[in-house]
Structure 1
């Protein structure tokens, strides 16, 4: 334990009382219809940080009615791209203004480091600005080569009412990967944040109201997946569901949505590999591996939770990875120097530990960590940086999403073998390759079955580039122009010019 870089409790003060979170329905802040509420306890400090309204079926019904009315009456769907963009840009400016407040609540509810939270809020504001640019440039198609008397048009229209269900690990960033793109397209929305991290979405609602978004265009219902998320998913008033979270819940959403055949966009789990070839820049690769597995305490769909390293360099690479892992500051997320904070719940911490213990019992060797981490002065749950070697490809720790600061190490000898290992799980979210040979990188990028492939880097992201997975990592894409297209429907309009049509009946 003493070999690790542990950050003890900081001098930062907690808020005097919990954040009060209510539903936003048709422009009004409301308690639950039945008066129910729930508490969120900080995973790092053990104190109640949020008191939130607990939604039920009546709250969902009211929110969906408001979103449906707002869409059908054209309060948003029939506005110009310029008008939508103006609102989105104003919201981005308000997010920048409230960055510190949003970051603090995100840190208290999720356990992530405050410095990371601030960077994510800054990135979220950029997504709103990028979506604004899409609102101004969105267009359909015209076809004037169909004959001298025919003009064909393809209109791009908003999908309708969208149910947006977001996770706890990046609550503000992920709602900003969805909502501004839906709004740019002209959709209205009902948003359900995770019950573990509701506060920052409520703050976003405050900013939407301040910006003047018409009532009913964006509604927020707090609470649990059952009944809130389930009701939103199945309701026929919803034309589209977009969800980020576990693969198991994503499959349940597809089943629930099938009753009305609504569109479904899913960003789900991953078991993302980084493949390191002998000619890799080892210093850069080790740093990227350490970043990739410990960023957000490994509670990240893009976590590089397994590395596939060439046998010739495996021992040196693991030794350097373990050494660098010991230097990563774990501990109090309110300390600006902390890079890895708390685990979201005690139950999730136990799940992480079970994965590591089962791997060790099956013959894997734990080179570093492998258990809970005590942080002096804090009453939360933390897990040690953990490196597990001698992992076989058939072990659950090599195939299942651990969602914690746990790195699994596998080895290979040929590119063919490495590609087989990369594609040998049910997931296909992201993958990485490290080599100074551009031919190796390009061949790997073409053969890896993943929505994103990084070469000689890890987790660089840009608003302009689409993000999403293959196979059980999801369907559909977020970000980029593809992220806007998810919220649009194509409508064909065929126009005959003049009275030239040959009569069908003579």
Structure 2
């Protein structure tokens, strides 16, 4: 039986109206239309955004282009940019409760989780600020007495940043401060479902002193705004987080002008568990990995690959702990699993569950939507007897659905883990560190957790193999992703003329 937290009606809530940020000013869409966001956990309109048009995107790109080309941002010293980013981090911290509330009410995530994400975002901004002062090139004085080589790192230019709905503030914070640290100017398009906190970030950056045009924020849909941001010749790079399908389209659009592309896409992440693992710790991590953010997470541990000797016991223990997970009101601090982002997405999740059942999988727990009177919710769900070729084992469900597969040998576990198109992250659980390192070396994924799951730090790179994306975010090299290298080849002294006879 799922533990539920009844959503409270937002009878006294006043819908918040937002404008777009273009060239340092808050503006309305040229089309005059707006988009309304209905809170997925409460069923009432909570935000109203401008429905940006292609022309709005063009205006924002032009502003970013001017702000880059006239040098107002890239010509600052690293220390100057760092100080502004640090000031922004302090202002984010000061408004953390407001930002967390917006993310919780617009995305349906639990408020306690949203507050933790804001703490992580502040740390990322401060880390990026430090990197702004540390960005450097190389020199080569080993090329002979007549040659000196210097390699510069220069900001790539105008960057289009397109972010998803599942972590509205956290993901823009994994991109924007690093682009700014490098000296780039930007146009940001948040998801049309969860734009509120990104627009408040625009207020914060202006207050921090970031010059007009350096950060522009255009709200609207992907086909109307996002496509222009990926194809416009005035953009030098596109940084996108979202589904693999839209990532392919973004890459194809960017290819028209050969832009640099950074993509953080989908995942179908395994946790491989051996009989000698600490099962008490694993069971807790499995429940967390499956239901964190209602499973609407590219890093979700949605595939359990359990050794056959422990599969029945572990599945039963996970089911018992899952029954204690609190599902419901995103604004209740005790809630652990909030609302599903839209009714359409809830239907998609339910479709995967029914398809798995028809393919022969069993339902060890849940499997149904929850009617809590307001909003849309899904019960924590565990599917047993899943085979590697089932859709639910290969495709990203993006919901609180855990698929249990089994293996007998290490080779079989690795084969199952690597048998899909994704390679974002994975976990391995064993007291034998040889086993952990074998899995870590051979599973093709960008992050391998050993005896833990979904830990992270600003210093550690994040990104995927295969169709989970291109490039890496976070880590000390993240700022370099927003740069070009330029070689200065300097000749010293007289040079022999090529055409002269010898």
Q: TM-score, normalised by structure 2?
A: 0.99
Q: Deviations over 1:393-418 (max 9, x none)?
A: 11000000000000000000000000
Q: Is the 8 A contact 2:135 2:480 kept in 1?
A: no
Would you say 1:441 and 2:450 are equivalent positions? no
1:284 corresponds in structure 2 to 281
After TM superposition, give the deviation of residue 15 of structure 1 in Å: 5.9
CA deviation vs aligned residue, 1:127-181 (integer Å, no higher than 9, x gap): 0000001001111000000011211000000010000000000010000000000
1:167 aligns with 2:164: yes
Offset, 1:14:
6.5
Q: Which residue number corresponds to residue 235 of structure 1?
A: 232
1:348 paired to 2:345: yes
Match of 1:50 in 2: 47
1:8 equivalent in alignment to 2:2: no
Which residue of 2 is the match for residue 300 of structure 1? 297
**Pick aligned residue for 1:501 from 486, 495, 500:** 495
Q: Pick from 45, 64, 72 the counterpart of residue 75 of structure 1.
A: 72
- Determine the structure 2 residue equivalent to 1:178: 175
Aligned ranges 1:352-431 → 2 under 5 Å: 352-375=349-372, 378-431=373-426
Asked if residue 99 in structure 1 is aligned to residue 93 in structure 2, the reply is no
Following TM superposition, by how much is the alpha carbon of 1:485 offset from its aligned partner in structure 2, in angstroms?
1.5
The separation in 2 between residues aligned to 1:223 and 1:59, in whole angstroms, is: 10
- Choose which of 461, 468, 491 in structure 1 pairs with 2:463: 468
In the aligned structure 1, how far is the partner of 2:279 from the partner of 2:309? 13
Residues in 2 aligned to 1:154 and 1:319: alpha-carbon distance in whole angstroms: 58
Structure 1 distance, partners of 2:115, 2:46, is 18
Tell me how far apart the structure 2 counterparts of residues 297 and 102 of structure 1 sit (CA, whole Å).
Answer: 20
Q: 85, 92, 95: which is aligned to 1:88?
A: 85
Q: Does 1:326 align with 2:323?
A: yes
Match of 1:456 in 2: 451
With over 3 angstroms needed to count, the CA separation of the structure-2 counterparts of 1:154 and 1:51, relative to structure 1, is same
After the TM superposition, which residues 237-256 of structure 1 pair with which residues of structure 2 at under 5 Å, given as runs?
237-256=234-253
Question: C-alpha displacement at 1:373, in angstroms?
Answer: 1.1
TM-score (norm 1): 0.98
Which 5+ residue runs of structure 1 have no aligned equivalent?
A: none
- For the residue of structure 2 that corresponds to 1:481, the secondary structure is coil
Q: 3-state SS of the aligned residue for 1:489?
A: strand
CA contact (8 A) 2:68 2:157 kept: yes
Shift in Å at residue 8 of structure 1? Answer: 1.8
Specify which of 20, 23, 26 is matched with residue 26 of structure 1: 23
SS in 1 for 2:153: strand
1:137 aligned counterpart, secondary structure: coil
Write the distance in 2 (CA, Å) between the matches of 1:135 and 1:36: 38
In the aligned structure 1, how far is the partner of 2:4 from the partner of 2:262?
39
How many angstroms apart in 1 are the aligned matches of 2:283 and 2:480? 37
| CA-CA distance at 1:482 after TM superposition | 2.5
* 3-state SS in 2 of match to 1:255: helix
Aligned-partner SS, 1:206: helix
8 Å contact from structure 2 (residues 13, 46) kept in 1: no
Could you say what the CA RMSD is over the residues aligned between the two structures, in angstroms? Answer: 0.9
Aligned mates of 2:179, 2:365 — CA distance in 1: 44
Moved over 6 A (4+): none
Q: Distance in 2 between matches of 1:14 and 1:91?
A: 33
Do residues 486 (structure 1) and 484 (structure 2) align? no
Q: How big is the shift at 1:57?
A: 1.4
For 2:480 and 2:184, locate their aligned partners in 1 and report how far apart those are by CA, in whole Å: 12
* Per-residue deviation, 1:16: 3.0
SS in 1 for 2:246: helix
**1:258 paired to 2:255:** yes
Q: Aligned equivalents of 2:453 and 2:432: distance in 1?
A: 17
Compute the displacement of 1:10 (Å).
4.9
Q: How far does the alpha carbon of each residue in 1:256-295 deviate from its partner, in whole angstroms, 9 at most, with x for none?
A: 1111000000000000000000000000001000000000
CA–CA distance in structure 2, aligned partners of residues 379 and 367 of structure 1? 26
Report the 3-state secondary structure (helix = DSSP H, G, I; strand = E; otherwise coil) of the residue aligned with 2:240: strand
C-alpha distance in structure 2 between counterparts of 1:9 and 1:238, whole Å: 43
Shift of 1:19: 1.4
Tell me if the contact between 2:7 and 2:41 (Cα under 8 Å) persists in the aligned partners: no
- Separation in 1, partners of 2:297, 2:367: 19
Q: Please say if 1:219 is aligned against 2:213.
A: no
